[in-house]
Amino acid sequence: MSLAPVLSSAVPLSNGLQIPIFGLGTSHMGGYSHDAIVYALTECGVRHIDTAKRYGCEGKLAKAIRESGIPRSELWLTNKLWPEDYGYTTAKKACLDSCSQMGLQYFDLYLMHWPGSLRGGCSNREMRAETWRALEELYKEGVCRAIGVSNFLVHHLEQLQEDCSVVPHVNQVEYHPFQQPNQLIDYCRHKGIVFGGYSPLAKGQVLSNPTVLQIAEKYKRTPAQICICWSIQNGVVTIPKSTKEKRIKENCQAFEFQLEAADMLALGELHDGRHVSWDPTDVE
């Protein structure tokens, strides 16, 4: 049975588009499965796929999307620009190359992957501004229906708004019960920037937490479903990664129940500041 009706929840962007609140993430180093993508699209009703040039699976994704038979207009496809491709000319070319690799005319969302540059010649701030101007043009040209950033902190966002004209539509950051950047979330929402969260299961670390296990037992759900449900109930665009069909179905079923306020609060108290991915704190 398709889970599409419960997966249809979306969050409005500042430009009027609606981004599905739940998506399927991909990654490099074993983070891609053709069968899993096709299954998510055809059997689970997933319509939001998140990828990046860095993950090396753009061509594979194109094949899986074609095989699914889902019309392009029904999909939300997010891609990300790797810091080696920062800079005005390089960024525009990289985006168009990624479109070509995926057999697309446009991306629904295109993100700067990281606040730091892997190219020399100028400061990170100058490189971010130069790169963002390229994304602004791609947005105005319709190659990107929305543009945003990933792993940006408040000071990165403030500088970008001083240097450029289009406020990012999305900021995608690590988010799970152990890593809750609430000041950043509040800032984004105040500025009309939708907050997206990756690694909602803290790369598995949260699944053995006693509080999570206790809540999972209460609802007769899995720890993963509890964490995904918590993230979604907090209004965060949530993109768990999995290459296993069973896990994808399980993750989609996080829409089938709601956590009570006391349990939301208990999970909210698990923040300890740990990162399971990159930490952008020291990026100027």
Query: What is the C-alpha separation between 63 and 67, in angstroms, rounded?
Result: 6
For tokens 């602004």, name the residue.
Answer: 136
Specify the DSSP class assigned to residue 276.
S
Q: CB 17: neighbour CB atoms within 10 A?
A: 16
Task: State yes or no: 176 annotated in a binding site.
Answer: no
Contact indicator for 38, 67 with CB cutoff of 8 Å: yes
Picking from 174, 149, 168, the residue whose alpha carbon sits closest to that of residue 241 is 174
Query: What is the C-alpha separation between 63 and 80, in angstroms, rounded?
Result: 19
Q: Which residues of 122-135 are buried (b: 16+ CB within 10 A; e: fewer)?
A: eebbebbbbbbbbb
Burial class of 74 by CB neighbour count within 10 A (0 to 12, 13 to 18, 19+): exposed
Contact indicator for 274, 179 with CB cutoff of 8 Å: yes
55 is catalytic: yes
Q: Could you say which of 39, 55, 86, 139 is catalytic?
A: 55
Picking from 243, 248, 132, 114, the residue whose alpha carbon sits closest to that of residue 173 is 114
Contact indicator for 188, 152 with CB cutoff of 8 Å: no
- Residues within the annotated binding site for substrate? 113
Residues belonging to the active site: 55
